Structure 1
Amino acid sequence: MAEPVCVVARGITFGYPGRPVLDGLDLVVSAGERLGLVGENGAGKTTLLRVLAGSLAPMAGSVSRVGSLAVVDQELDVPPGTTVGTLVEQTSAATRAVADELEAAIAGFDHESGDLGAYADAMTRYEQLAAWDVDRRIDEALTRFGAPRDVSRELATLSVGERYRARLACRIAERSDVLLLDEPTNHLDAAGIDYLTGRLQQWAGAVVIVTHDRRLLDDVMTAILDLDPAMDGRPALYGATRYADYRFAKDRMLLRWRARYRAERKRALVLAAQLDRSYEGLSDGWRPPKGSNKNRRATHARGHVKAADRLVEKLKAEAVEVPVPPLSLAFPDLPSLPRRASTGADLDRPLDPAADRAAAHAGPLLEIRAPRVEGRVDLPGRRIDIGACGRLLVVGPNGSGKSTLLAALAGTVDLDRGTRVLAPGVRLGVLAQEGPAEHAAEPTTSAFDAYARHALRLLESGVLDPDQLVPVAALGLLTEDDLDRPLRELSVGQRRRFDLACALLAAPHLLILDEPTNHLSVGLVDELTAALRLTSAAVVVATHDRRMRADLADWPVLEL
């Protein structure tokens, strides 16, 4: 018996003013199938998820769903007064409604003339949802995801991660027919990801997930839909369920695509040169041999022009219309030491002996001892130092204090105990889990102007060398069109790219990155991982991303 179809999208078209996103997309996801949505940031992954959920109406096309729906967006609106109990009640109410339907069917069933089909449907639905077990499932999911279990806690008082985990736990406990998840592993630790993986592998309904988590793609998905255009300009569905297989197939396609494009551009240049020479023949000083037809030169030249025109038209008819290639990270060549120590620059400027010794960097770039932040992190007797070109991988479960420790290293949170010493001249590049407050305060400013303002703030603070500024356009993180758009019009992933660009702006000697893979495309995660391994700058990374941790397994590890 064929599996019931849960989600069908036909000819979906959607775009924002001046920016098409989806164009005639078809999609079918049946019960038991788990589809991973991948693609560059801004390719339309979140938009497609919202169209499937019904929160966005397509400009053309249609979406049909069978059964109940559960959605977990990246961003959660929090109405005043909303509590953890509100989320729990929404989940349990939906499930208990099924139990009430069964009780009503049992109470009103006429054994002589009753509708056995309706009774059977109610019983099947009740067993499918295991409605008798919903309270235990909610409590288990909240616990396993590390979400608050106090139903009186207001969501507005929780961190972004806590709010996300509470909502995810409730939606997982629902056992809906259609489950739509947007970057579900962003706020989970290793134990939470393992629990989520197990639940998704057993999901009876249809699942569509936007994710950058390469291990999740391996462990859960039955297919991968890449929204980046293929050679025909359309998204590509990869039946391969392993990320490595998908990357291999995509890379081979891109090689063929680019080779054909280069060959056609080369041929177009040859024909254009031939056409130019033919047109020049109409006006040059060439004369036919004595006694020949006086019109021979012009006729001969016009024949060359017509032949070249025909070749150009043929080329246009056969050409592949290639969209703009995906962005590729151009990671800057970061310095390992301040300029005086690394290049000998400004040696004519006098420094005191202490500054000279610091510039030579006999010691670490950054050192922190016995750090303590009340209620968040406490490491008595611990000394953490990062030397030039040093590496440190910080791991631990949610709530262990990783983000607080990185903020202490960055100097953005005050220590209640302990000391922090940053060597003179050392520049930091910091990527927090959430973007800087100044970026959130200027949502209508274009990305390019916001980047320029950030540079000015760093310059005024004395932590920017104008000669070593990294231009945002040179990084390959955002297109020129994206840079001209207001920050608020960028997708969550594109804003994360912008935050990464800001962390690189000052050409830092030390990068401090908190969950750097969050919201980024899988392709960019691969590129960033490779760049972090090779850069001359020192790097501190805190991450739950299992593949990144495996890729950085040879780094020194600090486990909290």
Structure 2
Amino acid sequence: MLVMKQVRFDYDRKPLFEAVAFEIAAGERAVLFGLNGSGKTTLFRLVTGELTPQAGTIECHGEIGLVRQTIESEDMSLLEWVMRSDPERYALFEDVSSGDETRVMRSYERALALDVYNLEQEAKRALTRLGLDGQLDRNINDLSGGEKTRAQLSTLTMKRVDLVLLDEPTNHLDIESIDWLTQWLKQFNGTVLVISHDRQLMDDVATVILELSDGLVTRYPGNYTAYKRQTEEERVRDERAHARYESRKIELLEMIAQYKGWHLKAKATASVRSPGAQKGAANLAVKMKAREQKLRQLEDNRPRKPKEEKTISARFAADELEAKTWLTCEHMTFGYGEPFYDPFSFSIQKGDRISIIGPNGSGKTTLLNVLIGERAPLSGVIQRHPRLKIGYFSQTLERLPETGTLLEALLAHSDIEETEARTLLAHFLFRRDEVHLPIVEASMGEKCRIAFLILYFSDAHLLALDEPTNYLDVATREQIEAALSVYPGGLLLISHDRYFHRLTSRTIELGEHIVIRENDECDGPVDVEQMVRTMDELTKHDLKFFDEAGNLLPFDETSGMNRIE
């Protein structure tokens, strides 16, 4: 269905890809993912034909349907926007609907042949199938993210599409819309290629994972969980093979040095009148050359070095607050002018981890802002412990300074020296001159990482996080998730990344009413200190060598030093 062969693409006169090659078979649901900046969207644009490769070929069989992250459109109704998705038929529709006799007669026969008179009804049926029949007259630019995604999918149902390309389709979708999209993708009987950082979507939908890293695409059958298992097995194999390579290399170098010393000594003491001594020196030279040949062969077949992923290093700290109850709400309402819901009461206890979920527009961010004191409730009482410190991550990143550099932003929100600030920025993937990047020029992913770093210094008892994973790649999400799992304080979380909700033990669900419930499944925080102690204990033992299947070798190859011929 889609085949990419040895594709090279240059960006700013430098190769972004040099030999990308992969294929997706008919009926497969493939997810393309990788670190931010690895070139996923560029690869997508090569598939759609928006960009042309410098070398290689791209073969795509069948009709392509495209769902973008955002819709940029002139003001028009949703119905008109969907009809315009078929440009040829829409141009004829305008002619035959114009009332201008000349235009009508000019386009009449072609319009009949293409069934243009049914275009409007087809668009209405497509929108109805996707639950948008009540939105036909709304301006396309006023729709929510989920509605815009459905609108794009509706255009695909109006024609036969063999391959659907989706670029980060779950960005800004609520959980209900993501569930709907998941079911749509699973029921679609064509081929799917998705760019996504949504691990749950990858688990639910993918039949193959395509990882883009260092300009190459590696194919892994199965979903995200299967990918993690396979890459971990790869890492273990690579580490073992590389350890054997390093050990054997050291052994050969030492043997070569020893033979060389013996040879030079024997050569210096050998006499012309002593053929035996000369022969011994020659034998040592032969053995030295043989070891040099083995070293060359070892280098020629050197195993690949285990990948060192660029991941942030984060561990949040929290001051101690021994009070049992941190926050209470009594008969509280919130909203704008009119309350969104009936009055409700609840409390946040020490160390509580709470998810706030609900459809887009249900008031999740408003509730969060009321709880942390950014907005006042419409009625009722909120009491916070006087010593309670709250760290806030806003999805709009409104608390980031608008001017200055990344380094200056960090120094302004902490009392650390510049050397320590640079070290911390390096842990968050800002290295060397990147620390002087003006905030106004930073990407959203870079701004998110800086916002987290500033949060690191808040020493908050309670972290309030509003969509912390938008614009972050999978590796960074997993590092943030790991850091939050060992954070000793409380957590208020709004996130469309369903993996993150495993960190919480209670949920406030906003819908027709407010429902507060205990989570059935919560993995609980990871005991990092115990993990470190275990690793220290394991590394105390002597190094052992294993074959590719993980079997212990019958002897330590380094003992060969004692068996010099």
Normalising by the residue count of structure 2, what TM-score does the alignment of the two structures yield?
A: 0.69
Q: 2:122 aligns with which of 108, 125, 133?
A: 133
The one-letter code sitting in structure 2 at the alignment partner of 1:407 is N
Q: Kindly report which structure 2 residues correspond to 1:42-81, keeping only aligned pairs within 5 A, or say none.
A: 42-66=37-61, 68-75=63-70, 78=72
Shift of 1:512: 1.8
Query: How far apart are the structure 1 equivalents of 2:220 and 2:268?
Result: 69
Q: 2:408 aligns with which of 445, 453, 461?
A: 453
Contact 1:376-1:404 at 8 Å conserved across structures: no
The one-letter code sitting in structure 2 at the alignment partner of 1:214 is R
Describe the SS at the equivalent of 1:259: helix
Structure 2 match to 1:478: 429
Contact 1:511-1:538 at 8 Å conserved across structures: yes
Structure 2 match to 1:149: 135
List per-residue Cα deviations over 1:16-67 (Å, max 9, x = no partner).
Answer: 4597543322244455432211233333322222222233333433435455
Structure 1 match to 2:231: 250
Structure 1 match to 2:75: 83
Contact 2:83-2:90 at 8 Å conserved across structures: no
Contact 2:32-2:193 at 8 Å conserved across structures: yes
- Point out where structure 1 has 5 or more consecutive residues left out of the alignment: 110-118, 343-359
Structure 1 match to 2:462: 510
Whether 1:168 aligns to 2:149 is yes
Describe the SS at the equivalent of 1:541: strand
Shift of 1:528: 4.3
Whether 1:313 aligns to 2:296 is yes
Shift of 1:185: 1.7
Whether 1:389 aligns to 2:351 is yes
Whether 1:225 aligns to 2:210 is yes
* Structure 1 residues 84 and 290, CA gap change in structure 2 (3 angstroms): closer
Query: How far apart are the structure 1 equivalents of 2:382 and 2:42?
Result: 44
Structure 1 match to 2:495: 543
Query: How far apart are the structure 2 equivalents of 1:10 and 1:488?
Result: 38
Contact 1:9-1:26 at 8 Å conserved across structures: yes
Whether 1:35 aligns to 2:30 is yes
* Structure 1 residues 269 and 220, CA gap change in structure 2 (3 angstroms): same
Contact 2:132-2:147 at 8 Å conserved across structures: no
Q: How many residues align?
A: 488
Shift of 1:415: 5.1
Q: Kindly report which structure 2 residues correspond to 1:517-528, keeping only aligned pairs within 5 A, or say none.
A: 517-526=469-478, 528=480
Shift of 1:555: 0.4
* Structure 1 residues 362 and 506, CA gap change in structure 2 (3 angstroms): closer
Describe the SS at the equivalent of 1:227: strand
* Structure 1 residues 20 and 402, CA gap change in structure 2 (3 angstroms): farther
More displaced, 266-275 or 218-227?
A: 266-275
Contact 2:328-2:346 at 8 Å conserved across structures: yes
* Structure 1 residues 133 and 199, CA gap change in structure 2 (3 angstroms): farther
Describe the SS at the equivalent of 2:240: helix
* Structure 1 residues 533 and 290, CA gap change in structure 2 (3 angstroms): closer
Q: 2:485 aligns with which of 520, 526, 533?
A: 533
Shift of 1:510: 2.3
Contact 2:34-2:211 at 8 Å conserved across structures: yes
Query: How far apart are the structure 2 equivalents of 1:538 and 1:314?
Result: 57
* Structure 1 residues 483 and 512, CA gap change in structure 2 (3 angstroms): farther
Shift of 1:173: 0.3
Structure 1 match to 2:508: 558
Query: How far apart are the structure 1 equivalents of 2:35 and 2:338?
Result: 35
Whether 1:201 aligns to 2:149 is no
Query: How far apart are the structure 2 equivalents of 1:362 and 1:211?
Result: 42
The one-letter code sitting in structure 2 at the alignment partner of 1:541 is L
Structure 1 match to 2:317: 335
Contact 2:400-2:451 at 8 Å conserved across structures: no
Structure 1 match to 2:174: 189
Shift of 1:8: 3.8
The one-letter code sitting in structure 1 at the alignment partner of 2:240 is A
Contact 1:183-1:211 at 8 Å conserved across structures: yes
Contact 2:334-2:341 at 8 Å conserved across structures: yes
Shift of 1:248: 1.8
* Structure 1 residues 289 and 239, CA gap change in structure 2 (3 angstroms): closer
Contact 1:98-1:131 at 8 Å conserved across structures: no
List per-residue Cα deviations over 1:200-231 (Å, max 9, x = no partner).
Answer: 233344321112333323433332212246xx
Contact 1:455-1:505 at 8 Å conserved across structures: no
Between structure 1 and structure 2, the one with the greater Rg is 2
Shift of 1:402: 1.0
Contact 1:142-1:166 at 8 Å conserved across structures: no
Shift of 1:174: 0.9
Structure 1 match to 2:562: none
List per-residue Cα deviations over 1:427-481 (Å, max 9, x = no partner).
Answer: 5443333334636x45xx7xxx41x223233238xxx999998954564x53647
Q: Kindly report which structure 2 residues correspond to 1:479-494, keeping only aligned pairs within 5 A, or say none.
A: 480=431, 483=434, 486=437, 493=445
Fraction of identical pairs, as percent: 25
Contact 2:356-2:508 at 8 Å conserved across structures: yes
Shift of 1:133: 2.9
* Structure 1 residues 320 and 428, CA gap change in structure 2 (3 angstroms): farther
Contact 1:470-1:506 at 8 Å conserved across structures: no
Contact 1:72-1:181 at 8 Å conserved across structures: yes
Shift of 1:547: 4.3
More displaced, 179-188 or 365-374?
A: 365-374
Query: How far apart are the structure 2 equivalents of 1:270 and 1:537?
Result: 51
* Structure 1 residues 208 and 435, CA gap change in structure 2 (3 angstroms): farther
The one-letter code sitting in structure 1 at the alignment partner of 2:494 is A
Query: How far apart are the structure 2 equivalents of 1:535 and 1:262?
Result: 35
Contact 1:395-1:402 at 8 Å conserved across structures: yes
Query: How far apart are the structure 2 equivalents of 1:377 and 1:49?
Result: 44
Shift of 1:520: 3.6
Structure 2 match to 1:14: 9
Shift of 1:408: 3.5
Contact 1:470-1:505 at 8 Å conserved across structures: no
* Structure 1 residues 66 and 307, CA gap change in structure 2 (3 angstroms): closer
The one-letter code sitting in structure 1 at the alignment partner of 2:393 is L
Query: How far apart are the structure 2 equivalents of 1:368 and 1:278?
Result: 81
Contact 2:62-2:163 at 8 Å conserved across structures: yes
Normalising by the residue count of structure 1, what TM-score does the alignment of the two structures yield?
A: 0.69
List per-residue Cα deviations over 1:325-361 (Å, max 9, x = no partner).
Answer: 22345441x334x2xxx4xxxxxxxxxxxxxxxxx54
Contact 1:35-1:207 at 8 Å conserved across structures: yes
